[in-house]
Homo-oligomer: A and B are copies of this chain.
Amino acid sequence: MKLYESATAPNCRRVRIFLAEKGVDVPIEAIDLAGQENRRPPFSDKNPMATVPVLELDDGTWLAESMAICRYIEELHPDPPLMGRDPREKALVTMWERRMEHEVALPIMQVFRNSHKFFEGRIEQVPEYGEASRRHALKRLEWLDQELADRPFIAGDEYTVADITALIGIDFGKVSGIRLGDEHANIKRWHETVSARPSASA
């Protein structure tokens, strides 16, 4: 296996943290996003969506999409479980992972995508949508803070992939100008806990 990725992309960090939590070591090949290496052959021939990360399997399959890579690793290395144990747990982790992606991480990334020079000419930017996404993200952080009032992790008593998605989303807030404040006491407590795990620096 080989992981094509970029040190700065949040979805790449999602996979690096997941691998670190599993104790799985995969050789990395850096893709130069600033130089648009992902938008040129040979990369774009094998992944026309031009996204990183991509996991190359031993049979040559290119597996794109960070959550597809996490699913693959979870199936090969079920311990420790990061996606739940039984049907109910697996479904609840999926629910929380998706809420963290759609309500927290994506809006925070949309601020950057729609306003930052990095994406100029790469995507069709709509700054007004970036600002709407900022307000959406801030509202959702308010809600998330209440959710975390009475439990240690996003999906319940255990660390799961939902915590990873929330962490990479919230940390990406640095470049989107969205930071945790005094009104986010519960998120801050959670953030300290998950950031102290060795995987957070993967």
Chain A binding surface SS class: helix
Nearest B residue to A57 via CB reads B88
Stretch at the interface among A128-136, A169-177, A182-190: A128-136
Q: Would you list which residues of chain A between 107 and 128 have a CB under 8 Å from chain B?
A: 124, 126, 128
- Whether a CB of chain B sits under 8 angstroms from the CB of A5 is no
A88 and B72 in contact, given A99-B49, A129-B126 (Cβ under 8 angstroms): yes
A95, A99, A103: residue with the most chain B Cβ atoms closer than 10 Å = A95
- Asked whether, in the complex, the Cβ of B98 is within 8 Å of the Cβ of A72, the reply is no
Binding site for B on A (CB under 8 A): 48-49, 57, 59, 61, 63-65, 67-69, 71-72, 75-76, 86-88, 90-92, 94-95, 98-99, 103, 124, 126, 128-129, 132, 135-136, 143
